[in-house]
């Protein structure tokens, strides 16, 4: 073997030994742990229920609402009526309230009769002065804006019917059975020139009230006091006796000067019964439309009032100041004024508004008596009072006068009218109320009903307003002392002749 080959073999051997030596050693293992936040994206399959919205075209039946005017057989037609009332709250609220309460009966009757109209009522009620109230209706009528129904004093028929403001119901009254129950004599107050222009809403009397405690202070016994009403009714206790008693109360200091006797503080129907009692008349007995002014009767009235205010201090010279609030409160307890000329309705006003803290109506029964206005010895020598019915009237401008009259008829029932009469102190207007228990058991109404036998009325005349204002001018002048009674008569005659001309008869 050559030397070169020997060296190759030796090298390979050494190399193999070295490899074997390395293969027998134990290796060292080093583990390196590294924490690293990585984002892993993975695709998965998920099952999920979802809503899919899709716009599609469909055919659908829908309702379309539209306001249209149609005429349909048998459809209900609402008819609005407007009623205007003057009332002293709360006791006189029945004037319009009864109309409101009657709407249901009206609509029930319309339905029963197959009439498709139904009434809706707007009631306007407040306590405006009579002058403003009257003017309001006249201006509304001139403007074509009058209410369908107005309740007012019957004497306004003279002005309003003549001016064409009212609807003539003469031929309609018989169609409504309720009106047959109205007290016959009260229809007189609704007539002018043979026609009927309204329906009585209430009635009243205007008595003399007197204070029992003040009469006791004058020395009257209980028997004397209890018999006074009968003495007045028989004519035994006269107007002159009343004035003498009032003067005595002033002289003895039982009442203050001017508080012996009080009448109303402003113009009104009451003053006419002084004139009637003195023997005067207003309506021409020969049947003309002219009014009558009796100077002799008027002089008696003016002389009596002048003496009471200017000479004997029985009544205050400024009593005609128009202050009703003071008048009502001052007279209510009958501890200051001996005699008061007022209306039956004031009884309710006193105990409702001023006497609740001292017993209400029981206080009045204990302390107050009433009687007709005493007879004037220098005149008719007979007791007297005056009834001033208020009446429901229908405007000539009403588009539905039949519905207005139907509404009035349904308010003219013993139930509604008695509720009003008891609350307000007014007298009933219906024959059936005489036997109706709620009316019969109303103590004051039963006690004052006999006063109607002494009653009188204002005239229904278009000239009454001018007449009344002139006559009242004389009353104001003598009580204030501005004129003597004789001068007052002359002034009143001049004014009547200037304003009424041929429509006044002076005698």
Query: What does the DSSP assignment read for 138-182?
Result: HHHHHTT---SEEEEETTHHHHHHHTT-B---TTTGGG-GGGGGB
77-197+388-454 is classed in which CATH architecture? 3-Layer(aba) Sandwich (3.40)
3-state DSSP call for residue 123?
strand
List, in order, residues 6 or more apart from 263 with CB less than 8 Å away: 270, 271, 315, 319, 341
Q: Where are the domains of the chain?
A: 77-197+388-454, 208-387+460-506
Determine the number of helices (DSSP H) and then strands (DSSP E) in the chain. 18, 13
What pLDDT is recorded for position 7?
A: 45
What pLDDT is recorded for position 291?
A: 98
What pLDDT is recorded for position 409?
A: 98
- Classify each residue of 354-388 as buried b or exposed e, where b means 16 or more C-beta atoms within 10 Å of its C-beta: bbeeeeebebbbebbbbbbbbbbebbbeebbbbbb
C-alpha to C-alpha distance for 406 and 408, rounded to whole angstroms: 5
Q: What kind of fold does domain 208-387+460-506 have according to CATH?
A: D-Maltodextrin-Binding Protein; domain 2 (3.40.190)
What pLDDT is recorded for position 42?
A: 42
3-state DSSP call for residue 393?
strand
What pLDDT is recorded for position 74?
A: 62
C-alpha to C-alpha distance for 124 and 28, rounded to whole angstroms: 117
- For tokens 């107007």, name the residue: 239
Per-10-residue mean pLDDT of the chain, 507 residues long, equals 48 44 40 39 41 41 35 77 96 97 98 97 96 97 98 97 98 97 94 96 96 98 98 98 98 98 97 98 94 98 98 98 97 98 96 97 98 98 96 98 98 98 95 94 93 93 96 98 98 98 97
Q: How many Å separate Cα 444 from the centre of its chain?
A: 22
C-alpha to C-alpha distance for 80 and 69, rounded to whole angstroms: 19
- Angle made by CA atoms 355, 359, 360, in degrees to the nearest 5: 45
What pLDDT is recorded for position 39?
A: 43
- For tokens 């009424």, name the residue: 500
What pLDDT is recorded for position 89?
A: 93
C-alpha to C-alpha distance for 316 and 218, rounded to whole angstroms: 21
What pLDDT is recorded for position 57?
A: 44
pTM over 0.85: no
State both tokens at 416: 């509604």
């Amino acid at each position: 073997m050559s030397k070169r080959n020997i060296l190759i073999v030796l090298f390979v051997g050494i190399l193999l030994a070295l490899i074997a030596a390395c293969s027998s050693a134990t290796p060292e293992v080093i583990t390196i742990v590294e924490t690293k936040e990585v984002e892993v994206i993975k695709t998965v399959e998920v099952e999920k229920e979802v809503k899919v919205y899709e716009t599609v075209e469909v055919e659908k039946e829908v309702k379309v609402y539209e306001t249209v005017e149609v005429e349909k057989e048998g459809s209900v037609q609402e008819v609005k009526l407007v009623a205007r009332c003057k009332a002293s709250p709360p006791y006189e609220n029945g004037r319009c309230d009864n109309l409101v309460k009657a709407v249901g009966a009206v609509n029930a009757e319309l339905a029963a009769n197959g009439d498709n109209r139904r009434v809706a009522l707007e009631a306007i009620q407040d306590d405006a002065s009579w002058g403003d109230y009257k003017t309001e209706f006249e201006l509304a009528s001139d403007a074509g804006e009058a209410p369908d129904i107005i309740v007012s004093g019957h004497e306004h028929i003279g002005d309003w019917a003549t001016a064409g403001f009212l609807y003539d119901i003469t031929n309609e009254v018989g169609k409504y059975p309720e009106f047959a129950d109205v007290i016959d004599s009260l229809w007189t107050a609704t007539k002018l020139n043979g026609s009927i222009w309204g329906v009585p809403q209430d009635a009243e009397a205007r008595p003399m009230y007197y204070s029992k405690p003040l009469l006791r202070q004058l020395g009257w016994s209980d028997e004397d006091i209890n018999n006074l009403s009968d003495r007045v009714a028989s004519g035994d206790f006269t107007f002159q006796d009343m004035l003498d008693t009032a003067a005595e109360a002033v002289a003895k200091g039982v009442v203050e000067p001017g508080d012996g006797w009080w009448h109303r503080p402003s113009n009104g129907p009451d003053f006419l019964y002084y004139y009637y009692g003195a023997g005067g008349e207003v309506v021409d007995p020969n049947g003309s439309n002219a009014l009558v002014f009796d100077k002799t009767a008027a002089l008696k009235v003016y002389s009596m009032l002048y003496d009471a205010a200017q000479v004997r201090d029985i009544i205050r010279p400024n009593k005609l100041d128009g202050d009703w609030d003071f008048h009502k409160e001052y007279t209510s307890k009958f501890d200051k004024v001996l005699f008061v000329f007022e209306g039956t309705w004031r009884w309710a006003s006193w105990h409702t508004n001023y006497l609740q803290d001292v017993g209400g109506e029981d206080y009045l029964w204990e302390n107050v008596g009433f009687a007709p206005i005493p007879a004037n010895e220098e005149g008719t020598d007979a007791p007297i009072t005056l009834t001033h019915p208020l009446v429901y009237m229908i405007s000539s401008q009403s588009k539905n006068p039949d519905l207005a009259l139907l509404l009035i008829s349904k308010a003219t029932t013993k139930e509604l009218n008695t509720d009003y009469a008891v609350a307000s102190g007014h007298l009933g207007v219906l024959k059936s109320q005489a036997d109706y228990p709620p009316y019969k058991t109303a103590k004051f109404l039963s006690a004052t009903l006999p006063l109607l036998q002494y009653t009188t009325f204002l005239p229904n005349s278009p000239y009454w307003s001018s007449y009344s204002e002139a006559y009242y001018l004389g009353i104001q002048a003598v009580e204030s002392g501005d004129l003597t009674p004789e001068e007052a008569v002359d002034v009143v005659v001049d004014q009547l002749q200037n304003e009424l001309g041929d429509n006044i008869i002076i005698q």
